[in-house]
Structure 1
Amino acid sequence: MLGLKWSCCHYVYNLKSPSFAALLSMIAALRTYSLDKLQYKRETESGISSLAHFLSKDTIDLFNIIIKPVAYLSMFYFFNNPRSSFQDNYVILMALVYCVTGMAYVLAISFAPSLAQLWAVLVPVVLTLVANKGKDSMIQKYFGKFCYTKWALEAFVIANAEKYSGVWLLTRCKSLESGGYNLHDWKLCLIILIVNGVIARILAFIILVTR
């Protein structure tokens, strides 16, 4: 009974982490492009390179990508005390923040500020619900692999499950089996999150230039 309660607490931790972190990071990253569209138009008309403009803003945001996971974990990690290490959680969150920051660029460039904020709230919430579906769900089967939340949640669960040993192995097998996760896919999850961030940035730059 105690083992089941412990496992449930860590599952709730793993579920909330990608949702909260993605939501806060995406909303904060909207400011990078939401407030300076007129300034960008003036600068491009004067001859500034669009690529240099985009890369400079993205480079400045790298500081936030590195610092935000630390600020988040300094409060959230020690209250929950999960089995996974602080370093593993930091790496996952950094990849997650990099991914959603690129998505925020797309929303900020494509929509007006108020509408972009609405989408920035809806997208993480809806995709988290998709990631929370069981492995046998039709939604998870066809759409789960395209959701960054699925890979972030899997990375958190795997990092936590790797620390189980001895009598806790049954709990580890249950947590992995319920989500259809593979213990050896931790690095794959991080790579997919980073690739999603790169693709989102390429799409954001294309929209910035064309619009």
Structure 2
Amino acid sequence: MAYAIAIYFEPAPAQLWSVLLPVVMTLIANQKKDTVFMKILIKLCYPNWALEAFIIANAERYTGVWLITRCSSLMNNGYNVDDWPICLVALFFYGIIARIVAFFCLVITQKK
């Protein structure tokens, strides 16, 4: 996303948007999934997939006492240990889409 933002905006706004957009998306990804709209919006935010992959990857390493904490953390967030490959595919997909958008921004704006 930073590629597309850097191509489309001037340097100062591009820096601001490159920092602000992931922060806002992370705040959205951590909201409660009360309504259908929020469920869809949260699934569209890439930090949701990154956070889920991170928690699952860390949860698989814990044993003993941490097992109870791990299970409650996964249950409270609605994560499944088997969803780790899906998270990686989603992040890979978002990366490809962001690069395609950046390429089209580059072609449309004719920047070198």
1:173 — aligned with what?
A: 71
Answer yes or no: is the 8 Å Cα contact 1:109–1:208 preserved in 2. Answer: yes
Q: Which has the higher contact order (CA 8 A, sep 6+)?
A: 2
Matched with 1:105 is: 3
CA drift of 1:128 comes to: 1.0
3-state DSSP of counterpart to 1:156: helix
Tell me how far apart the structure 1 counterparts of residues 38 and 71 of structure 2 sit (CA, whole Å): 20
Q: Who is 1:15 aligned against?
A: none
Structure 1 CA distance for aligned equivalents of residues 7 and 20 of structure 2: 17
Identity %: 57
**Is residue 131–residue 140 contact of structure 1 (8 Å, CA) maintained in 2?**
no
Greater fraction of residues in helix: 1
Which residue number in structure 2 is paired with residue 150 of structure 1?
Answer: 48
2:12 is aligned with 1:114: yes
Unaligned 5+ segments in structure 1 are 1-102
Q: Which amino acid aligns with 1:125?
A: V
Corresponding position of 2:104: 206
In the aligned structure 2, how far is the partner of 1:167 from the partner of 1:113? 49
Name the SS of the counterpart of 1:126 in structure 2.
Answer: helix
- 1:142 and 1:124 map into 2 onto residues whose CA distance is 17
Matches within 5 A, 1:78-89: none
Where 1:163 maps in the other structure, the secondary structure is coil
Offset of residue 167 of structure 1:
4.1
Per the alignment, residue 19 of structure 1 pairs with none
- Look at both structures and tell me which one has the larger radius of gyration over its CA atoms: 1
Normalised by the size of structure 1, how large is the TM-score? 0.48
The verdict on how the C-alpha distance between 1:140 and 1:172 changes in structure 2, with shifts beyond 3 A counting, is farther
Give unmatched runs, 5+ long, in structure 2: none
In structure 1, distance between residues paired with 2:18 and 2:60: 32
**What RMSD, in angstroms, separates the aligned Cα atoms of the two structures?**
1.6
Q: C-alpha offsets along residues 111-167 of structure 1, whole Å, 9 cap, x if unaligned?
A: 111111111111111011112223x34364121111110011001110111123344
Shift of 1:169: 2.7
Kindly indicate whether residue 91 of structure 2 is the aligned counterpart of residue 193 of structure 1. yes
Whichever residue aligns with residue 148 of structure 1, its letter is Y
Corresponding residue to 1:160 among 44, 55, 58: 58
